[in-house]
């Protein structure tokens, strides 16, 4: 099914300590059938975006979709047979990662990781996580994919602990990502150089963003100064990462971060009175995510760096 969507745009300049001034333009992309809840989660180098509408609360299921320039219509990308689906990442070949559920209870819904083939072919799914005995409900999420068809995500074990993973679709190689002294770990994105980003909970109970080099190499941890909650959710081939942090009032702020230099920026949508989250970045420095307006409605967001 296809439906028209509407857009609006804004321009803002946002600066944080440790980084030079940078300008960004903001565009709202919402499914008009549900103007109250949209999230954009992944974008490839062609500018094709995946996301979903619907909060996931009972009676308001997540419904995945894909949109491409000029962003005037969307195509549903729900996992076949699912009750609700989130599409979270897309590579240049059009492979989509995400997770689905067979219920919409609002609380306690299972999550099953999947991979969808490009839209030109028959939809197919690959469960990237081995079935875990004893977990109730089962929880595994595929959150990003690179152009070598390597997926990043996490699963929850029998003790309720989250573990990051990477999974190669081509070779079926599956690797768990562990961080020393972390009580839980989630991998959220991977670039073509094999750098994995994500977040973990440290010994103090703080949520810390990370970027790990390929083959389990150097780990760079990052938290916004004086904050206790930072998540890194996407990374491009230049090593630029995006995500968000929560301030002392619990309001989320978009994060634009360069691990190699330590420079970072706060990037907030001008309409994001109650918060901004950046989920994905492509190699053309386009960002996607969502913001919450003053009325509490959640809107999909596309950000372009202004030359």
Q: Give the mean pLDDT of 127-153.
A: 80
CATH architecture under which domain 2-305 falls: 6 Propeller (2.120)
Write out the DSSP string of the chain. -EEE-EEEEEEEEE--TTS--EEEEEEEEE-TT-TTBEEEEEE-TT--EEEEES--STT---EEEEE-TT-SEEEE-PPTT-SEEEEEEE-TT--EEEEEES---SSS--BEEEEE--TTS-------S---TT-SS-BEEEEEE-TT-EEEEEEE-TTS-EEEEEEETTT--EEEE--TT-SEEEEEEE-TT--EEEEEE-TTS-EEEEEE-GGG--EEEE--TT-SBEEEEEE-TT--EEEEEE-TTS-EEEEEEETTTTEEEE---TT-TT-EEEEEE-TT-EEEEEEE-TTS-EEEEEEEE--
Distance between CA atoms of residues 291 and 269, nearest Å: 7
C-alpha torsion sign, points 147, 252, 18, 216? negative
Asked whether the predicted pLDDT for residue 290 surpasses 80, the reply is yes
Q: Give the mean pLDDT of 194-200.
A: 97
Asked whether the predicted pLDDT for residue 278 surpasses 80, the reply is yes
Q: Give the mean pLDDT of 9-17.
A: 47
Asked whether the predicted pLDDT for residue 139 surpasses 80, the reply is yes
Kindly report, residue by residue over 160-173, the tens digit of the pLDDT. Answer: 899 999 999 888 88
Kindly report, residue by residue over 51-107, the tens digit of the pLDDT. Answer: 999 999 999 999 999 999 999 999 999 998 899 999 999 999 999 999 999 999 999
C-alpha torsion sign, points 41, 24, 191, 235? negative
If pLDDT is split at 50, 70 and 90, which confidence band does 6 have?
very low
Please identify which residue in the block is written with the tokens 């819904």.
109
Domain ranges of the chain: 2-305
If pLDDT is split at 50, 70 and 90, which confidence band does 193 have?
very high
Structure tokens at 155: 């699963």
If pLDDT is split at 50, 70 and 90, which confidence band does 226 have?
very high
If pLDDT is split at 50, 70 and 90, which confidence band does 5 have?
very low
Quote the percentage of the chain above a pLDDT of 70.
88
Q: Are 253 and 276 in contact (CB under 8 A)?
A: yes
Query: Residue 148 CB: number of other CB atoms within 10 A?
Result: 15
Mean pLDDT for all residues in the chain: 89
Q: Give the mean pLDDT of 170-199.
A: 94
The pLDDT value given to residue 113: 92
The pLDDT value given to residue 130: 52
């Amino acid at each position: 099914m296809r439906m028209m969507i509407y857009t609006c745009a804004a321009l803002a300049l946002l600066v944080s300590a440790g980084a030079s001034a940078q300008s960004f333009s903001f565009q709202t992309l919402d499914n008009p059938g549900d103007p109250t809840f949209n999230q954009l989660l992944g974008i490839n180098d062609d500018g094709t975006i995946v996301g979903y509408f619907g909060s996931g609360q009972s009676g308001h299921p997540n419904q995945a979709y894909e949109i491409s320039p000029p962003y005037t219509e969307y195509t549903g990308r729900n996992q076949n047979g699912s009750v609700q689906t989130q599409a979270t990442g897309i590579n240049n070949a059009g492979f989509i990662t995400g997770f689905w559920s067979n219920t919409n209870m609002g609380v306690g819904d299972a999550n099953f990781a999947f991979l969808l083939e490009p839209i030109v072919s028959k939809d197919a799914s690959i469960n990237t996580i081995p079935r875990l005995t004893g977990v109730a409900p089962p929880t595994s999420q595929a959150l990003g994919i690179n152009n070598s068809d390597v997926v990043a995500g996490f699963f929850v074990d029998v003790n309720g602990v989250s573990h990051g993973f990477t999974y190669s679709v081509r070779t079926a190689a599956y690797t768990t990502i562990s961080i020393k002294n972390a009580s839980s770990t989630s991998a959220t994105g991977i670039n073509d150089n094999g750098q994995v980003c994500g977040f973990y909970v440290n010994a103090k109970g703080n949520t810390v963003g990370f970027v790990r080099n390929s083959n389990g190499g150097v780990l760079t941890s990052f938290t916004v100064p004086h904050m206790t909650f930072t998540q890194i959710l996407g990374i491009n081939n230049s090593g630029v990462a995006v995500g968000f942090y929560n301030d002392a009032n619990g309001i989320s702020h978009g994060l634009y971060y360069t691990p190699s230099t330590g420079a970072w920026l706060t990037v907030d949508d001008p309409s994001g009175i109650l918060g901004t989250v950046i989920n994905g970045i492509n190699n053309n420095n386009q960002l996607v995510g969502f913001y919450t307006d003053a009325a509490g409605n959640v809107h999909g967001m596309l950000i372009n760096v202004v030359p």
